Structure 1
Amino acid sequence: MSRARMALAALTLALAGVAGTLLWVTLRGEDVGTASVGGPFTLTDETGRTVTEADFEGRPTVIFFGFTFCPDVCPTTLYELTLLMQDLGEDADKVNWLFVSVDSARDTPEQLAQYTSAFDSRILGLSGTEAQIAAIAKQYFVYYKRVPLEGGDYTMEHTATVFLMDSGNHLFGTIGYGEAPAMALSKLRRLVRDG
């Protein structure tokens, strides 16, 4: 038997094994596993009020993680969301717009209120203790890390994805950093319509 035929036979056998395993798992009714994004949280909004995920149920939610001392990604993303909200018109009122700080040390409710005032007034800043931020970041699979700078200051590295959650707090989709505005607007319109 030639090497090519042996390789083809091995590949066919491997694919049959994978297909058989998937069929077996499906027939048994077992879930092969999907990551669940989102979940319960307790944070403080920019007015100092304690909020939970229950405060935002019943409407789709757009959620972005960042920090107020962010030099580029955060202000750019919030500005782009502001423009998209204008494009949505009255439909933007049907959505919760959340900015969750990953910098619990500096981003107090007052700091968040001042920062979000530069963008659409419907964007609500949320902060919390280090443990609260770690918990919500874990639920959304958000990476963040404090990075020391010269002179004792620091910045934050963080995921730059905008999460689109349906009215039941399930992941509906995402908007990537720098995504084309027309594509992002299309996703938001679907979120309003179907989420």
Structure 2
Amino acid sequence: MRTAIWAGAAAAAICGVIGVTLWKVYPGAPSDAFAECAGGASGASIGGPFELVNASGETVTDKDVITEPALIYFGYTFCPDVCPLDTVRNAEAVDILAERGYAVTPVFISIDPARDTPEAVGDFAGNISEKMVGLTGSPEQVDAASKAYRTYYKAHTEDDPDYYLVDHSTFTYLTLPETGFAGFFKRELTGEQLADRVQCFLDAG
């Protein structure tokens, strides 16, 4: 339990550091049609093409996955608390948006390719939402996707080769099929708050 608490605290701290970094690297963002939407930063160089593996073991690209607005989250299936809470929140926001007439896909990208097989990410995503897409890949594929979205992760395999924890950033990224990355959201938001903010982007777009 103590390990899980420290893992959650570490993830939250990393989230804050990376949030500050984003705004320092991209001063003044956002400055476009999404400027009125909290979390908007489409002027930032975040997101882009990726090639990963889906739950069926098929290699897919961002074009295959992001066919409608997508909420993308980087985590891992062995995560003791943060990832399940965040992905459930994202799925809840997607359901709320669906009730309002907006179609959004929740996406889970593993940053633990050593343990997260296609079957593992498929089971994880399916247990949260039938609409959630679970993705993994080779270490190189995962690293490339992480770098595209400017995320951070570090596996502590030295602690335990089988049951290690992974430090990682905890933002959720809104990506649109036509224009790419639109904004990011912190984990403190509730499902309804996240839905409200995503709707702002969809209405503005």
Fold in common (TM above 0.5): yes
1:73 to 49, 71, 82: 82
Matched residue, 2:189: 179
Residue 169 of structure 2 corresponds to residue 192 of structure 1: no
Per-residue deviation at 1:168? Answer: 2.2
CA distance in structure 2 between the aligned counterparts of 1:103 and 1:92, rounded to whole angstroms:
34
Partners of 2:136 and 2:142 within 8 A in 1: yes
**Shift, 1:185, TM fit:** 1.6
Report if aligned partners of 1:91, 1:192 keep a CA contact under 8 Å in 2. Answer: no
Aligned partner letter, 2:170: A
Matched, 1:166 2:176: yes
The one-character-per-residue Cα deviations of 1:81-139 (angstroms, maximum 9, x if unpaired) are 12222222256762232100000111111111111121111110001100011111111
Q: Which residue of the other structure, out of 46, 52, 56, is the alignment partner of 1:47?
A: 56
Count how many residue pairs are aligned between Structure 1 and Structure 2: 162
Instruction: From the superposition, tell whether residues 46 and 134 of structure 1 become closer, same or farther in structure 2 (CA, over 3 Å).
Output: same
Q: Report the alpha carbon displacement of residue 193 of structure 1 after superposing the two structures with TM.
A: 3.0
The alpha-carbon deviation at position 152 of structure 1 amounts to 3.3
More helix by share: 1
Q: 3-state DSSP class of the match of 1:125?
A: strand
TM-score, normalised via structure 2 length: 0.72
The residue identity in structure 1 corresponding to 2:92 is L
Q: CA deviation at 1:148?
A: 3.1
Listed as ranges, the matches of 1:58-97 within 5 Å are 58-90=67-99, 94-97=103-106
CA–CA distance in 1 between the matches of 2:191 and 2:171?
14
Q: Do the aligned residues in 2 keep the contact of 1:82 with 1:120 (CA within 8 Å)?
A: yes
Name the residue aligned to 1:6.
none
Q: Which amino acid aligns with 1:113?
A: G
Structure ID, larger Rg? 1
Q: 2 CA distance for matches of 1:191 and 1:46? A: 29
In structure 1, the partner of 2:46 is: 37
- Letter paired with 2:84: P
Establish whether residue 99 from structure 1 lines up as the match of residue 82 from structure 2.
Answer: no
How far is the alpha carbon of 1:58 from its aligned partner? 4.8
Alpha carbons of structure 1 residues 84 and 112: separation in structure 2 relative to 1, 3 Å: same
In structure 2, do the counterparts of structure 1 residues 109 and 184 end up closer, same or farther at CA, with 3 Å as the change threshold? same
Identity of aligned residues (%): 32
Q: CA RMSD in A?
A: 2.0
Is the contact between residue 94 and residue 106 of structure 2 (CA under 8 Å) also seen in structure 1?
no
Q: Which amino acid aligns with 1:184?
A: L
Which residue, out of 124, 129, 132, partners 1:123? Answer: 132
Give the whole-Å Cα distance in 1 for the aligned partners of 2:101 and 2:125: 16
Letter in structure 1 aligned against 2:184: T
Corresponding residue for residue 9 of structure 1: none
Asked if structure 1 preserves the Cα contact closer than 8 Å seen for 2:94 and 2:103, the reply is no
One-letter identity of the residue aligned with 1:162: T
Residue segments in structure 2 that go unaligned for 5+ positions in a row = 1-42
